[in-house]
Amino acid sequence: MNQHLQQAGVKLLNALSRHAEMIMQVYLSGTLDESKYSPKVIEGLCQLGILWRPESDTQLRLKSAVRNLLEGSLHDERNRQIDANIGSALASLKTLAQHYKEALYHNRYAEVDAHLSDLSEHVYALTESLSNSVRLLFSRINNEFGYVSSIDAKIRENELAQSQVSELLNQLEMFRFDELSELAGSNRELRHLLVVILQHSFSKVIQELSIVQARLLELIGRFREFKGRTQLLKGFLLHMEQKPDFRPVNYSQLSQVPMLFNQATALIKPAAVDVHRIEHEQDLQQLVGAIKAFNRSNTANQPERAAQKINVEQQSAAQFAEDKLRLAVEAYFCQVIDSGERLTALDYHQQHELEFDPEVWIYQVVGGYQGLTLEEQSYFALDTNGEVHPIYSGNYIIRDVELGLR
């Protein structure tokens, strides 16, 4: 069987080589001019599956397989066909993987090699098909659909490409790599084909398709802008054809000038000092000197303020009171750490009969907690006790705070 298949393949390739000029003529023109070639040659190409006649009264055309081969090899931008039949490919991959595992379980090593070869071919064909689809989309975008001339045709081609990208992304979502990983199991060859290669290829394709979508949206915005301008020009040409003696009025005499014409450059441009002009350096120094002198003259005219006495004893007392408050907060934190139990600030204030005002004490506890580093704060839990203000919404009245360990 393999020998027969090899002979048939060699015969097909030889026919393609011998009649390459005729095949390219059919590819470019779409149909074959049968009057230029012998019926025997045409019959042979039809039997080999290179040419075919869709209907009895139509001209001969290239088979789709041959045309797809030429389009893919020549990177023909006219090719709009995107292979999105990934569901069928997924079913084939699962079936071949099951064949491989069954043959491996029964130690049929000849079948194992054959099934693994078929599975590898299907995986690589799928990744190649996805890469070709992305390449084809990029080619059409980079040329801005140059194979069509009108703006409307470019918009339709853009919408077709967007639908193909969406369909391709929907098909890619059918692949569940957790299922493929479970199917591959611990087999190294299956995991390499079904998980490593496919997942790497799919992630790359999805990233490139996101770029394609962004480019398509940008292009269709430009095309629609061009279409609007084209319609405006066509409308003006139609107006001139219908009224050839039309002359625009003097817009300066209009009470409301259209914004298109209501544009004028500023009479005086914004001015700025050029500090790099050497010839202006002396003048600039005088200006700056005058500014400094003006500032000094203002400060000089201000009356001197009388000296005030500093009460050192009062400051020392305030500093001492502040130290006592801070030490009390530290002692409160240490007691919570030593006991491991939650304790409110007012309970500690009453237990130790502190002389500070309760409100000042609560403020100092909150400030002490907020003064800790983030790492130190992570060891404590500071909760507030209070109620919502009865009149002003959004205000919360704190009556007490409770400190504990996390």
Pair (37, 177) in one structural domain: no
Pair (105, 152) in one structural domain: yes
Domain boundary, last residue among 38, 58, 74: 74
> Residues 53, 93: contact at Cβ < 8 Å?
no
Domain boundary, last residue among 221, 245, 269: 245
**Domain range spanning residue 58?**
1-74
130 closest CA partner among 91, 163, 84: 84
Please give the tally of structural domains in the chain: 3
Question: Of 119-133, 153-167, 266-280, 295-309, which gets the smallest average pLDDT?
Answer: 295-309
Pair (355, 229) in one structural domain: no
Domain assignment present for 177: yes
User: 127, exposed or middle or buried, with CB in 10 Å at 0-12, 13-18, 19+?
Assistant: middle
**For the chain, what is the mean pLDDT?**
81
Pair (46, 107) in one structural domain: no
Position 294 scores a pLDDT of 46
H and E: helices and strands count for the chain: 15, 5
Pair (213, 81) in one structural domain: yes
> Residues 60, 30: contact at Cβ < 8 Å?
no
Instruction: Give the H or E element holding residue 382.
Output: strand 380-388
201 residue type, one letter: S
Pair (137, 189) in one structural domain: yes
The larger pLDDT score, comparing residue 99 to residue 27, is at 99
Pair (83, 70) in one structural domain: no
pLDDT at 79 over 60: no
Q: Is 383 helix (H, G, I), strand (E, B) or coil?
A: strand
If you search the block for the tokens 């030429």, which residue do you land on? 70
Pair (103, 235) in one structural domain: yes
Q: Is 148 helix (H, G, I), strand (E, B) or coil?
A: coil
116 closest CA partner among 199, 31, 189, 15: 189
Pair (67, 80) in one structural domain: no
Separation between Cα atoms, residue 280 and residue 391, nearest integer Å: 66
Separation between Cα atoms, residue 204 and residue 213, nearest integer Å: 15
Separation between Cα atoms, residue 368 and residue 362, nearest integer Å: 10
* Overall pTM > 0.85: no
Pair (191, 334) in one structural domain: no
User: pLDDT, tens digit, for every residue of 116-167?
Assistant: 888 888 888 888 888 888 888 888 888 888 878 888 888 888 888 888 888 8
Domain assignment present for 293: no
Which bin fits 353, alpha (ψ -120 to 50), beta or left (φ > 0)? left
> Residues 26, 60: contact at Cβ < 8 Å?
yes
Confidence of residue 83 (pLDDT cuts 50, 70, 90): low
